Amino acid sequence: MKGLVAKPPWPGSAAAAGLASCHVCDRVAPVAERHCPRCGAHLHTRKKESIQRTMALLVASMIAYVPANMMPIMVVEQLGGGTEANTIIGGVITFWEMHAYPVAITIFVASVIIPILKMIALLWLCAAAGGWVRIDGRRLTRIYWLTEVVGRWSMVDVFVVAVMVTLIQLGNLMVIHPGPAALAFAGVVVLTMLAAMSFEPRLLWDRAKAGRKQLRKAREGEE
């Protein structure tokens, strides 16, 4: 596909011109109209209370992450009455010891690495948007894009539980039940997805612009 770099009609952000683009249909309209003239969705230049909402959802997901890892995600009932409770990490270790490396790595990446990295990334983005951390808008935008795209893949473990519980119903030979961690972990994924959705990446650019302005003012002051 050919690339074409769009031309700005005049320099500056849409917000500075009193314009907003609709989140649903991409149409650009004056913010004063409040609702998109084309699709009727609510118009806003910046998502409302974005940092607070993202942080609240993020904290909730961190809290849910504790039972998701401490409690069993699957309970295996063996022939002869023995029951065995599997946590997420326990499952990864079992598969590693069984030399099932691809399965172990997939579960480890989807259930441990991705959620933790996503939480750190969102925390960092919030800190940058709030002005507590120095920022490079372009790089942070890429991080934000990654958190949005990769986050959903964590749901893999929940689906694995659904498939295993359904299939392993072999009478009195072996039965698998879902553990409380399955719901907790699904909660973690949904909460981090919602947190990423309520984050406003344009705050990063506002910050970068404000920083540049301040620098210019400081230089003018020196002269």
Q: From the list 35, 42, 48, 138, which residue makes contact with other proteins (rule: CB under 8 A)?
A: 138
Q: From the list 62, 87, 205, 211, which residue makes contact with other proteins (rule: CB under 8 A)?
A: 205
Q: How far apart are CA 219 and CA 223, in angstroms?
A: 7
* CA proximity to 178, closest of 197, 193, 155, 159: 159
Q: How far apart are CA 195 and CA 60, in angstroms?
A: 10
* CA proximity to 204, closest of 80, 121, 105, 103: 121
Query: C-alpha angle with apex 31: 28 to 37, nearest 5 degrees?
Result: 55
159 binds other proteins (CB under 8 A): yes
Per DSSP, helices labelled H in 37-179 are 50-70, 88-97, 101-108, 114-130, 137-150, 156-167
Q: From the list 116, 162, 210, 215, which residue makes contact with other proteins (rule: CB under 8 A)?
A: 162
32 binds other proteins (CB under 8 A): no
Residue range at the interface with other proteins (CB under 8 A); choices 60-68, 116-124, 128-136, 151-159: 151-159
Q: What's the min distance (Å) between Cβ of 37 and other proteins?
A: 9
Q: What's the min distance (Å) between Cβ of 158 and other proteins?
A: 7
Which x/- pattern over 179-198 shows residues binding other proteins (rule: CB under 8 A)?
---xx--x---x--x---x-
Q: What's the min distance (Å) between Cβ of 145 and other proteins?
A: 8
